[in-house]
């Protein structure tokens, strides 16, 4: 049985016009999608599907928070997201030259899986370097003891007697 069945919309029987759908993605959604960069989250998704005779347009709004792991202190923090996205779906098989803005629904398909569309948009919002946001005064909100360990690690001196012997070698130019 499909774990993400609640994010599938059967579109074959839909009448022409606008249809609204609401989804709530929590920690289980991210675990089922097997995304390692996101520890969990709480997202509210509203989707307006405008079905026309030859295509469908999906206008999606995603609001919520993600649980990410800070790259600096390795502590979890909440990352707020607010996404507006539109996607066009055309009926039929994809031509050889196709546009990335348009997704094609095959001849035999009868349902639209929006879980992938949700994940694509969420992953695009995550910064490359995930760190705690600064507070109102511009100070880091990372764990203080972890920052102290990092600072002290950078100050330590490494001395290896094998390298000291090599430093005494004089080269003639």
Residue 45: pLDDT band (50, 70, 90) is very high
**Region 14-22 average pLDDT:** 91
The confidence score (pLDDT) of residue 157 equals 67
Q: Which two tokens stand for residue 13?
A: 């029987």
Parse the chain into domains and list their residue ranges.
5-132
Which are the contacts of 50, defined by CB distance < 8 A and separation ≥ 6?
17, 18, 19, 56, 57, 58, 59
For residue 152, is pLDDT > 50? yes
Cα distance between residue 40 and residue 156, in whole Å: 36
Which helix or strand (DSSP H or E) is residue 125 part of? helix 115-125
For residue 154, is pLDDT > 70? no
Lowest-confidence pick of 18-32, 48-62, 89-103: 89-103
């Amino acid at each position: 049985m499909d774990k993400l069945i609640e994010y599938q919309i059967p579109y074959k029987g839909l009448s022409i016009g606008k249809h609204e759908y609401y989804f709530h993605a929590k920690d289980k959604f991210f675990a089922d999608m097997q995304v390692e960069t996101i520890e969990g989250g709480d997202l509210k998704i509203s989707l307006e599907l405008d079905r026309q005779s030859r295509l469908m347009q999906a206008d999606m709004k995603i609001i919520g928070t993600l649980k990410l792991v800070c790259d600096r202190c390795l502590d979890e923090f909440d990352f707020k997201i607010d996404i507006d996205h539109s996607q066009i779906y055309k009926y039929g098989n994809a031509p050889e030259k196709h546009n990335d803005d348009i997704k094609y629904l095959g001849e035999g398909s009868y349902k639209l899986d929006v879980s992938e569309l949700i994940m694509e948009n969420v992953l695009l919002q995550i910064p490359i370097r995930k760190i705690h946001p600064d507070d109102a005064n511009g100070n880091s909100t990372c764990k203080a003891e972890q920052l102290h360990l990092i600072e002290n690690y950078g100050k330590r001196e490494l001395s290896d007697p094998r390298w000291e012997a090599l430093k005494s070698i004089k080269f003639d130019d």
